Amino acid sequence: MKILLIGSGGREHALAWKIKASLLCDALLIAPGNPGMADLGELIPIKSDAIADLVKLAITRQVDLVVVGPEDPLTLGLVDALAEKTIRAFGPRRAGAQLEGDKSFSKKIMREALIPTAEGRSFNNMRSALSYVETRTEPLVVKASGLARGKGVIVCRDPVEAMDAVRDMMEKKIFGTAGQTVVIEERLDGPEISLLAFVDGQSAYIMESAQDHKRIGDKDTGPNTGGMGAFSPAPLLTDELLVRVQREIIVPLLDTLKRNEIEYCGILYIGLMLTPGGPKTLEFNCRFGDPEAQGLLMRLETDIVEVMLACIDGKLDGITLTWKPQTAVCVVLASEGYGWKPDDQVTRGVPITGIEQAAAMPDVQVFHAGTAMKDGQLVTSGGRVLGVCALGADLADAQKKAYAAAAKIHFPGMQLRHDIGGAT
């Protein structure tokens, strides 16, 4: 098969690595990709949100399967546009991608499905939002309803901070148009877990668990980010909890989507908080989590293209996923300013060294997220630059390998957390 992968981040590098290993993949095209993917397939300089150009590429290159990595093209309707040309694609259509692209819609679906989640309300008027916050006394969470690259959530200690967050989103537009509508929720307490599933429109196949670390600093300090690292499996998600999540969240969600005439096919990401009252849904995403994808895909033994085709064909019930028994740890190396400054102020263009030495270590993969080539030199080009991933016999072993590999990589201003998976 000739396969076209859309995207350019760490998640897409991991997907490219896994797709390239498939016995069903004869040729891999990647648009736009990044330098780390250059040895896995043909890089084509088309941005992931250029829907018409991507459809034209799929037609002219006679692509058999399109795999959509990031959320933007999904919410813009790339899968719908490909379907009109009878091109098979892995990922939900625009209607299903609203689960991630519109938090107000997602909250509405959760209420309709009676899915356990935080109590909350949506506002598209700042004065109304501020008036609502004034009536609250408890800690709140303020979320930009639209896509904000995983950073549109501000966890507030009190209503005063929540009012500042509302003004930042709706008046100062720190997240652009994503903050035109905000969702204000009660603040839940407990550890966060990421649960992902393959979905074929009728049924879901839950993957192994993972846990990521959102805050920029050690011991969960500093601002939220798109993710500073992850590990899999997550021991907190027991078999008992898994059954409860299936019964209380996944099944009601798929049933409610069907009632709303939304056939969901692709990846369903569930952000869970394990509260004293049981698991509650923080968010849904319509694609692999990043950096959770890197560790999960290192552990997945089943041919991923075979699974994707089963989802598209409604034959997921004929698939059995197998996983490596080892633990995976992914440590993100980020640019100076990431998490603390707006994206356009994050340091870029500085040289990176040591990747080859790190990648040569046993059980280690280095996935590029924000890199570019400049005058023959690999340089940083984004907030999250690299994901250094390792497999180990247990969590401690995987941590040791991942941090030993990360220590070989250098670029000016490099930030990383030192406690991915727990204190090291």
Looking at the chain, which residues constitute the CATH 3.30.470.20 domain(s)?
192-318
User: Using 50, 70 and 90 to split pLDDT, how confident is the model at 150?
Assistant: low
Mean model confidence pLDDT for the chain: 95
Q: Where do you find CATH 3.30.1490.20 in the chain?
A: 120-186
Residue 223, pLDDT score: 86
Residue written as tokens 């829907």?
51
Q: Looking up tokens 């930042």, which residue turns up?
A: 168
3-state secondary structure of 215: strand
pLDDT, tens digit (0-9, with 9 covering 90-100), for 330-384 = 999 999 999 998 888 899 999 999 999 999 999 999 999 999 999 999 999 999 9
Identify the pLDDT of residue 424.
60
Q: What are the start and end residues of each CATH 3.40.50.20 domain in the chain?
A: 2-94
pLDDT digits (tens, 9 = 90+) for 230-283: 999 998 988 899 999 999 999 999 999 999 999 999 999 999 999 998 999 999
Distance between CA atoms of 231 and 397, rounded to whole angstroms?
12
For 280-337, the pLDDT digits (tens) are 999 999 999 999 999 999 999 999 999 999 999 999 999 999 999 999 999 999 999 9
CATH code for the domain defined by 2-94: 3.40.50.20
Cα–Cα distance for residue pair 16/40, rounded to 1 Å = 7
pLDDT of residue 422: 87
DSSP secondary structure letters along 85-130? TT--EES--HHHHHHHH-HHHHHHHHHHHT--B--EEEES-HHHHH
At 6-25, the pLDDT tens digits run: 999 999 999 999 999 999 99
Q: What are phi and psi of 207, to 5 degrees?
A: -85, 175
pLDDT band at 105 (very low <50, low <70, confident <90, very high): very high
**Tokens 């095209």 -> residue:** 29
CB–CB of 25/11 below 8 Å? no
List every span in the chain annotated with CATH 3.90.600.10. Answer: 327-406
C-alpha 103: how far from chain center: 15
- Closest Cα partner for 40 from 11, 66, 16, 7? 16
Q: Are 266 and 257 in contact (CB under 8 A)?
A: no
Quote the CATH superfamily of domain 120-186. ATP-grasp fold, A domain (3.30.1490.20)
Does domain 192-318 correspond to CATH entry 3.30.470.20?
yes
User: In this predicted structure, which of 80-89, 147-156, 196-205 has the lowest mean pLDDT?
Assistant: 147-156
| C-alpha Rg value of the chain to the nearest Å | 20
- The arithmetic mean of pLDDT across residues 219-235, rounded, is 92
The residue written with tokens 């019930």 in the block is: 317
- Assigned architecture for domain 327-406: Alpha-Beta Complex (3.90)
